[in-house]
Amino acid sequence: MPTSEKAIQTAFKEVNDALVSRASLAEQLRAQTALVAAESERLRLSELRLRQGVSGQLDVLDAQRSLFAAQQALLQVQTAQVLNRVALFKATAGF
């Protein structure tokens, strides 16, 4: 197989891989954003329950920890999306 044909096939594969990954990351972003919203609401309710004397500080701390973990995961997905855009740009830069 000539080198130029191999390079073209490699480029098509890289573009395909980046596009597949892009769709997956978009779904992950939607799911993680929903999780952050749910954890934010959980924290709000935990703080309300604490103020009303229904639950203790441990519930609030647990809700804060869960929200922080969800926010970290959201940032990781967003970072992966940016890296995916770079990979897609690199794969299509010659066309």
Task: Return d(Cα 30, Cα 77) in angstroms, integer.
Answer: 10
Compare 38 and 11 and report the one with higher pLDDT. 38
* Residue linked to tokens 């891989």: 17
- Give the pLDDT mean for 42-61: 97
Residue 89 pLDDT: 87
Q: What is the pLDDT of residues 17-48, one digit of tens each?
A: 888 888 999 999 999 999 999 999 999 999 99
pLDDT of residue 40: 98
How far apart CA 84 and CA 17 sit, in angstroms, is 10
In the chain, where the domains are located: 3-92
SS (H, E, C) 40-77: HHHHHHHHHHHHCCCCCHHHHHHHHHHHHHHHHHHHHH
Please state, as a whole number, how many other Cβ atoms lie within 10 Å of the Cβ of residue 65. 12
* Confidence bin at 3 (pLDDT 50/70/90): confident
